[in-house]
Amino acid sequence: MSAQELASIAMKMVAPGKGILAADESDGTIKKRFDTINAESTEENRRFYREMLFTTEGIDAYIGGVILFDETIRQKAENGTPLAKLLEGRGIVPGIKVDKGAKPLAAAPGETVTEGLDGLRDRLKEYYELGARFTKWRAVINIGDGLPTPYAIHTNAHALARYAALSQENGLVPIVEPEVLMDGGHTIERCYEASETTFKAVFDELGQQRVALEGMVLKPNMILSGKDCTTQAGVQEVAEQTVRCLKVCVPEAVPGIAFLSGGQSDEAATAHLNAMNAMGPHPWELSFSYGRALQAPALKAWGGDPANRSLAQKVFQHRCKCNGAARSGSYSEAMEKEVVAA
C-alpha cells in the first residue's frame, strides 16, 4: 500500500469531528470492568457488549475508527456479520491492538518495555485479512525518582518505530502510543519534561526507521499533573502545556494526534480536548482515542442486562457526541446536563 493510501486511511480515522474508540481491553482488563457491574466476563457477554457499542445509532458521525482486541476481530455479530465488517459497513475503520503488553525492563527497576515484535509480521498479515486497516502499540513511561531513564525511553521508542514500520509494510496505519503515566505526585512541569524527551526520541526513531509520518497517528498522553500532586493544573493550563509540547515535538506531516484519556474522568478528558481545539487551528487534527472515558457511562447503564441495551446505547451516543463537539472547540458543560431519555 502506498504512503498516499495509508495517509487517506489515517485521515479517515481522525476526520474533523471524529475520533477513535479504544475497545481493545485485554481479557484481564475487561474482566475488571465487568466486575464493577457484577457481570460475568464470558465470551458471549464480551461480544454482546462490544456489538452493542458498535451498533449504536449515530456514532458514525463521531467515531472514525475502533481499536479491537484479538478475540473481537474474530467474532461475529448476532446476525452473522464479522464485527470488523459491521464497522466497515458503517464507514468506521477497524483496527487491532498488536502489542503483547509492558513487561519489566532488564536492569531498569520501575521501568518497562513493551513486547510483541517476535512474529509480528505474520500476525499483521493475518489481521489485514481479518479486516484490520490500522494497528496500535502502547509503550509505558513512568515518572518517579530518577525516572524515566534515557535507557527506557530509547528502548521503547525503538520498539514503537519497529512496530510502525512493519505495520506500514503490511498496509496498516500504525497508531504510535507513547504514554507517560499520570501515576504519582509529580507536577505538570515534570510531566512536560518527561513527555517532551519521550516524544522527541520516538520521532527520532520513526525517522531512522523510515516510517512515513503522513501514514500514522500519534496517541500521546496529555500534559497533566500527577494524580497525587497536591496542586492540580486547570483545564486551560493543561491545554496550553500540551499544545506547546506537541508543537515542539510533532512534525506537521503527522495527520492526527488522538489523545489517550489516561485515567482522567470522562468529563475532564473531553474538557481538555475541547480547550486545545478552541486554541486552534493546529497543524494536525487534535482528536481522541478514548477507552474508559467513552465507555464508562454506557457500561454502568448496561449493567450486564440485555434489557438495558437501548439505554446504554443512548448514553454511549451522548458521550461520543460530547467528544465530537470537543473536536471543534464547541463542547460546553451544558452538554453534560442533557437528559438521556430511557
Is-contact 111 152, C-beta < 8 A?
yes
Q: Where are the beta strands (DSSP E) in the chain?
A: 19-23, 63-68, 93-97, 102-104, 112-114, 134-141, 173-180, 217-218, 256-259, 285-290
Q: Which of 215, 124, 134, 219 is nearest to 166 (CA)?
A: 124
Catalytic status, residue 219 = yes
- Cα 320 to Cα 13, 69, 147, 220, 231: the distances in Å are 14, 20, 35, 20, 30
Residue with cell 430511557: 342
Classify the C-alpha dihedral 243-244-245-247 as positive or negative: positive
Q: Which residues have a Cβ under 8 Å from the Cβ of 221 and sit 6 or more positions away?
A: 178, 179, 180, 181, 182, 191, 195, 259, 260, 262
How many Cα atoms are found within 13 Å in the side-chain-facing hemisphere of 5? 9
Active-site residue among 177, 179, 205, 285? 177
Q: What is the C-alpha separation between 290 and 326, in angstroms, rounded? A: 13
Q: What is the C-alpha separation between 206 and 212, in angstroms, rounded? A: 8
Active-site residue among 12, 18, 219, 314? 219
Catalytic status, residue 177 = yes
Q: Which of 54, 169, 63, 74 is nearest to 131 (CA)?
A: 74
Q: What is the C-alpha separation between 123 and 117, in angstroms, rounded? A: 10
Is-contact 249 214, C-beta < 8 A?
no
Q: Which residues have a Cβ under 8 Å from the Cβ of 116 and sit 6 or more positions away?
A: 98, 99, 100, 101, 137, 163
How many Cα atoms are found within 13 Å in the side-chain-facing hemisphere of 17? 6
**In whole angstroms, how large is the CA radius of gyration of the chain?**
19
Active site residues: 177, 219
